[in-house]
Structure 1
Amino acid sequence: MTDLATKHYTYRLISPFRSEVYTADPANVKYILKTNFPNFGKGWYNHTILGDLLGDAIFTVDGEK
């Protein structure tokens, strides 16, 4: 993944059951985490995986919760 990030700042990995987008571009990270944070939901998958560790926190839930 580090090799991919040094060659391509933003890339997509596709598998049979899901697709993931990774970015190491500072402009994209700022856009996602600061400028347009509410439009990038975590979804049920992250809550399922991280919920036991982090609970219902900013990294695991969307919206009011």
Structure 2
Amino acid sequence: MESIYLIGFMGSGKTSIAEMLQQKLNCKLQDTDKMIEDQYEMVIPRIFEEKGGERVFREYETAV
């Protein structure tokens, strides 16, 4: 199966759609927000508040 990438603004429903597609297509789901939270042991809002805002979050996002 080819990969499907969902892009969009925060809060636009990417994760909800991805979870529905995962069930419907029986495929693997990779959520970059979840990967960031796991790797840096911090939830996204805390990264924004304590680590330097969007700039740092985007660096983390690029790293994963």
Do both proteins adopt the same fold according to a TM-score greater than 0.5, normalized to the shorter chain? no
Q: Could you state the TM-score of these two structures normalised by the residue count of structure 1?
A: 0.24
Greater share of residues in helix: 2
Greater share of residues in strand: 1
Q: Could you state the TM-score of these two structures normalised by the residue count of structure 2?
A: 0.24
